[in-house]
């Protein structure tokens, strides 16, 4: 047997559906129903509510990263924040567990390992820059046209742990969306023999839909981001850079809002 044949056989598990298609489909529905799919459904419900309120999207404010307890009990608030962040990782663990059943090491299978740290960090930073600046412009344009809610990205009390919690929240969002919505979902769709354009469209639509609560600007912007991220993952099979990019974008949004919003009126 030639070396080329041996290499092809060694690579075969990355695309061969070792699970029955019906099992994979059922598994996908379960994972999404417990994570991003549920968020997408609630996001649709939220925007219907917003559109039917007086003032609609133009007068709506969507609050993120809010305090969970009164200002008089900052340590209780911190405890609730940390518990909420920890429990949010359950769908990620479930997705990785399912991948491990037929893919071996799930971290290696989706490129969430330490094999290419330089590539992950540099390409992640580059993606963040390419997406962040146009995304900010799209947000303000959509706000000016009344197509997006105002996003209050950080609504914590004046506490010393506000910035660390916001950084952890950014990392949490990145891990859930890129591991479940990209690494897991794209891997499973490839096993179901979906073609790349269909995979890209499905992922982009899902990402846009669970951000629909922000408005139509958020929907479009996140669909574009989803398409770019899906293309990147299909090309390089690594979620590491995408988690870096997403974390950087959310830290800039959350911490930036916390520091800047009290001093300006346009946010």
pLDDT of the chain along its 267 residues, tens only?
444 433 333 343 444 447 899 999 999 999 999 999 999 999 999 999 999 999 999 999 999 999 999 988 999 999 999 999 999 999 999 999 999 999 999 999 999 999 999 999 999 999 999 999 999 999 999 999 999 999 999 999 999 999 999 999 999 999 999 999 999 999 999 999 999 999 999 999 999 999 999 999 999 999 999 999 999 999 999 999 999 999 999 999 999 999 998 777 766
Give the Å distances, CA to CA, from 160 to 83, 166, 167, 252, 256.
Answer: 18, 11, 13, 18, 16
Q: Which residue pairs, CB below 8 angstroms and at least 24 apart, start in 132-137?
A: 132/248, 132/249, 132/252, 135/221, 135/225, 135/249
pLDDT recorded at residue 236: 96
Q: How many CA atoms lie within 13 A of 51 on its CB side?
A: 12
What distance in Å separates the CA atoms of residue 213 and residue 233, rounded to the nearest whole number? 26
Q: How many CA atoms lie within 13 A of 13 on its CB side?
A: 13
Residue 49 covered by a domain: yes
pLDDT recorded at residue 2: 41
Residue 167 covered by a domain: yes
pLDDT recorded at residue 15: 46
What distance in Å separates the CA atoms of residue 43 and residue 144, rounded to the nearest whole number? 22
Range of the domain at 124: 35-263
pLDDT recorded at residue 138: 95
pLDDT recorded at residue 24: 96
pLDDT recorded at residue 67: 93
pLDDT recorded at residue 8: 34
* Domain count across the chain: 1
Residue 89 covered by a domain: yes
Angle, to 10 degrees, between the axis of helix 240-260 and the axis of helix 216-236?
150
Q: What is the per-residue DSSP string for 87-150?
A: HTTHHHHHHHHHHHHHHSSHHHHTT-SSS-HHHHHHHHHHHHHHHHHHHHHHHHHHHHTT-B-E
Please give the model's pTM, rounded to 2 decimal places. 0.90
Residue 22 covered by a domain: no
Residue 84 covered by a domain: yes
């Amino acid at each position: 047997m030639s070396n080329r044949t041996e290499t092809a056989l060694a690579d075969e598990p990355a695309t061969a559906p070792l699970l029955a298609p019906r099992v994979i489909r059922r598994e996908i529905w379960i994972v999404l129903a417990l994570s991003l799919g549920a968020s997408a459904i609630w996001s649709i419900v939220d925007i219907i509510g917003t559109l039917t309120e007086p003032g609609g999207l133009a007068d709506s404010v969507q609050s993120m990263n809010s305090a969970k307890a009164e200002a008089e009990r900052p340590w209780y608030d911190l405890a609730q924040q940390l518990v909420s962040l920890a429990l949010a990782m359950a769908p990620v663990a479930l997705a990785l567990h399912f991948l491990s059943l037929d893919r071996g090491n799930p971290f290696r299978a989706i490129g969430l390992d330490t094999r290419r740290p330089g590539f992950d960090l540099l390409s992640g930073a580059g993606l963040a820059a390419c997406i962040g600046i146009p995304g900010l412009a799209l947000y303000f344009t959509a706000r000016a046209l009344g197509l997006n809610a105002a996003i209050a990205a950080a609504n914590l009390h004046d506490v010393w742990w506000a910035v660390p919690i916001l950084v952890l929240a950014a990392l949490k969002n990145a891990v859930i969306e890129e591991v479940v919505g990209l690494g897991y979902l794209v891997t499973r769709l490839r096993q179901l023999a979906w073609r790349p354009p269909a995979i890209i469209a499905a992922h982009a639509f899902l990402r846009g839909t669970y951000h629909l609560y922000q408005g139509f600007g958020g929907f479009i912007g996140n669909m574009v981001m989803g398409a770019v991220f899906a293309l990147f993952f299909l090309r390089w099979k690594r979620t590491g850079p995408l988690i870096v990019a997403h974390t950087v974008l959310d830290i800039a949004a959350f911490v930036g809002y916390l520091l800047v919003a009290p001093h300006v009126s346009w946010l």
